[in-house]
Amino acid sequence: MPVVTLPDGSQRTFEAPVTVFDVAAGIGAGLAKAALAGVVDGREVDISHVIEGDTTLSILTDRDEAAIEIIRHSTAHLLAQAVQQLFPGTQVTIGPTVEDGFYYDFASGHNFTLKDLENIEQRMAEIAADDLTVERIVSPRDKAIEIFRNMGEHYKVQIIEDLPGDEEISIYKQGEWMDLCRGPHVPSTGKLQAFKLTKVAGAYWRGDVNNQQLQRIYGTAWANKKQLKAYLNRIAEAEKRDHRKLGRQLELFHFSEDAPGSVFWHPRGWALFRQLLEYMRGRQEAAGYVEVNTPDVMDRSLWETSGHWMNYRENMFSTQTEDERVYALKPMNCPGSVSMFAHGLKSYRDLPLRMAEFGKVHRYEPSGALHGLMRVRHFTQDDAHIYCTDEQMEQECINVVELILDIYRDFGFEDVVIKLSTRPEKRIGSDEIWDKLEGALTGALGTMGLDYVVYPGEGAFYGPKLEFVLTDAIGRDWQCGTLQVDMNLPERFDIAYVDENGNRNRRPVMLHRALFGSLERFIGILIEQYEGAFPLWLAPRQAVVVNITDKHAAYATEVAERLQAAGLRAETDLRNEKIGFKIRELELAKVPYVVVVGDKEMTSGEVSVRARHGQDLGSLTQDALLETLASEVARKGRVEAD
């Protein structure tokens, strides 16, 4: 007599084994109709799963976040079935879910095109309309191998042969079509109503370039058509905001095969980069940081001491000199910072020591992983390492979190999710140390009254960390800032300070902190956040002064020079073009203010001002223009949040 405990704590007793569907039907016909899967004792199962003993049960419908992954996985099967019906002889390999969707890799003699995707999608809709029952079959290993070998599915045979000997082999069948899969899946194809195929790409069997080349079809799937439409609209908006396209359009940067994964900054892009640097320098100096700079190339021995040579070597650029010494371009700034701390005797009076560095780091990323500013091989981190006593640790964490959140507000990011990653299974250090480190982070967040999400076991091997996730203007999440507490590197490098009792061997705690993360990536995020229309304080060109005819050129230059003298990034456009043409071009270039001068302005000593998006501010004195711009610059990103 199984006793089933439901999420609200209520219990139901049954005379004999029951399926998840039976339990749902016993609760109500509406729930039975909506049920997609179940969670039995924490494990996701099909609604046909038989419950034989006492258990806890949650029934998943399309309102549950966990059900979306099941919908997407089932839609990958729907895709594979449609492809094999339309293109006989195609072999299926794997079809996992990914963020916002799924893909399936195929071995086919046919080269799939975007036109093919339309036809495949239509066939998927037809199979969904047939509402085929999805059945789970458990098979002996030998029989499963025979089934897929007879079907000509050689990749599936290889997958089965590579599975552990004691693993259960399950096959999912919908209509006459079958696939090897752990599941779970929706109960019938009719539950799949909101999907879209998005693109075709190349792939390799098991991700190895030495293996057979495959074709990958990507798609997205959602619980309903409303969610699908919202997602497609978001993707269309993201394409408009693509930082690579806007980077070219606004003449900010470019990439070249002469230096794959490295940015060639143009004058306007570099002006934006420098503005971020100067902004962060000002904030850090006000918060008691000192700025340092460490070498880009350091001896292998340093990376052996830090542990990077053993754990990160494949991502490092290294070289060997004639005297057989091995050097590496730094992938992280931490060891250089520790070397700075170790130089000279430190006292407890020197702590906390907040040491910041805009360090250039180099990491080998596979060519296929490079993505504009978001994923590069050479980038700048706004790193800082704080050395403090045990007693200072929690307050320093509070200071860092306050600084991070306040800086994000200056860029218009008010919606920030804080993630706490705790001790992993494989770690160094005693439980007592981990309790202390995790307690510093949770204590800081608790004191500040901030909510956070815990990710058990996802901390670094040497310490727990906080991650700060921003939500942009179109609802996308970006993980940027980090704060990690560490007692490992001080131990490995044997650094110490003299405490108030004269003990010369006291270990400092080391906090690793980054706010932007990678400046290159953060600029990419900002370009897409603002769609290239930066707030005035960040804009590479804050104002452009344009003349109506050549006789106004000298006055236009005079106005621009006064703006420049006030610290504004101002230019002139003195081309012999019609004024309407010049204004339209500058508006397309997303220049915040266009300042127009002609006969009237020369006579009055004033200027005509147009703000971005065509807003006409009319005539202003030069003093009024300077006051307007200075006031807006001082408000920074907070003006966007108001």
Indicate if the pLDDT at residue 93 is higher than 70: yes
Express each pLDDT in 170-216 by its tens digit: 999 999 999 999 999 999 999 999 999 999 999 999 988 899 999 99
Query: Per the residue annotation, which of 363, 423, 427, 636 is the catalytic one?
Result: 363
Query: Per the residue annotation, which of 383, 410, 486, 573 is the catalytic one?
Result: 383
Indicate if the pLDDT at residue 429 is higher than 90: no
Which residues fall within 8 angstroms of residue 110, CB to CB, at 6 or more apart?
A: 87, 90, 116
CA 597, CA 601: separation in Å to the nearest integer? 5
Residue 465 bears catalytic tag:
yes
Q: Residue 312 has what pLDDT?
A: 83
Residue 383 bears catalytic tag:
yes
Q: Residue 444 has what pLDDT?
A: 95
Strand partners, 432: none
Residue 81 bears catalytic tag:
no
Query: Per the residue annotation, which of 385, 423, 569, 610 is the catalytic one?
Result: 385
Express each pLDDT in 439-463 by its tens digit: 999 999 999 999 999 999 988 877 8
CA 610, CA 592: separation in Å to the nearest integer? 8
Express each pLDDT in 283-309 by its tens digit: 999 999 999 999 999 999 999 988 888
CA 237, CA 230: separation in Å to the nearest integer? 10
Query: Per the residue annotation, which of 77, 308, 423, 512 is the catalytic one?
Result: 512
What whole-number percentage of the chain has pLDDT above 70?
Answer: 99
Query: Per the residue annotation, which of 174, 268, 334, 542 is the catalytic one?
Result: 334
Q: State the pLDDT confidence band at 641, using cuts at 50, 70 and 90.
A: very low
Peptide bond into 184 cis (omega under 30): yes
Backbone angles phi, psi at 221, to 5 degrees: -145, 145
* Exposure string over 199-217, b if 16+ CB within 10 A, otherwise e: ebeebebbeeeeeeebbbb
- Enclosing H/E stretch for 275: helix 267-286
Query: Per the residue annotation, which of 465, 552, 590, 610 is the catalytic one?
Result: 465
Q: Residue 637 has what pLDDT?
A: 52
Q: The dihedral of CA 378, 380, 381, 387: what is its sign?
A: positive
Indicate if the pLDDT at residue 632 is higher than 80: yes
What string of H, E and C letters represents the secondary structure of 188-241?
EHHHCCEEEEEEEEEEEHHHCCCCCEEEEEEEEEECCHHHHHHHHHHHHHHHHC
Q: Does domain 543-641 have CATH number 3.40.50.800?
A: yes
Peptide bond into 96 cis (omega under 30): no
What mean pLDDT is reported for the chain?
93
Domain boundaries, the chain: 3-60, 66-239, 267-289+345-530, 543-641
169 near 180, Cβ under 8 Å? yes
Q: On the CB side of 298, how many CA atoms lie within 13 Å of its CA?
A: 23
| Assigned token pair, 543 | 């104002």
| Assigned token pair, 201 | 């790409």
Q: Residue 613 has what pLDDT?
A: 80
123 near 78, Cβ under 8 Å? no
Indicate if the pLDDT at residue 642 is higher than 60: no
Q: Residue 459 has what pLDDT?
A: 87
Assigned superfamily of 267-289+345-530: Bira Bifunctional Protein; Domain 2 (3.30.930.10)
Q: Stretch 573-580: mean pLDDT, rounded?
A: 95
Express each pLDDT in 7-25 by its tens digit: 999 999 999 999 999 999 9
Q: Residue 132 has what pLDDT?
A: 97
The 8-class DSSP code of residue 507 comes to P
pTM of the predicted structure, to 2 decimals: 0.81
Indicate if the pLDDT at residue 530 is higher than 80: yes
CA-based radius of gyration for the chain: 30
Residue 375 bears catalytic tag:
no
Q: State the pLDDT confidence band at 311, using cuts at 50, 70 and 90.
A: confident
SS3 635: helix
Residue 363 bears catalytic tag:
yes
Q: What's the CATH fold of domain 3-60? A: Ubiquitin-like (UB roll) (3.10.20)
* Exposure string over 489-524, b if 16+ CB within 10 A, otherwise e: bbeebebbbbeeeeeeebebbbbbbbbbbbbbbbbb
Cα distances (angstroms) measured from residue 313 to each of 209, 271, 306 = 21, 34, 12
The architecture of the domain spanning 66-239 is 2-Layer Sandwich (3.30)
Express each pLDDT in 21-65 by its tens digit: 999 999 999 999 999 999 999 999 999 999 999 999 999 999 999
Residue 6 buriedness (CB in 10 A; 0-12 / 13-18 / 19+): middle
SS3 478: strand
127 near 161, Cβ under 8 Å? no
Q: Write down the number of H helices and E strands in the chain.
A: 21, 33
Lowest mean pLDDT across 233-247, 276-290, 450-464, 498-512: 450-464
Indicate if the pLDDT at residue 550 is higher than 60: yes
Query: Per the residue annotation, which of 81, 84, 381, 392 is the catalytic one?
Result: 381
Which residues fall within 8 angstroms of residue 286, CB to CB, at 6 or more apart?
A: none
Indicate if the pLDDT at residue 395 is higher than 90: yes
Indicate if the pLDDT at residue 368 is higher than 90: no
Q: State the pLDDT confidence band at 639, using cuts at 50, 70 and 90.
A: very low
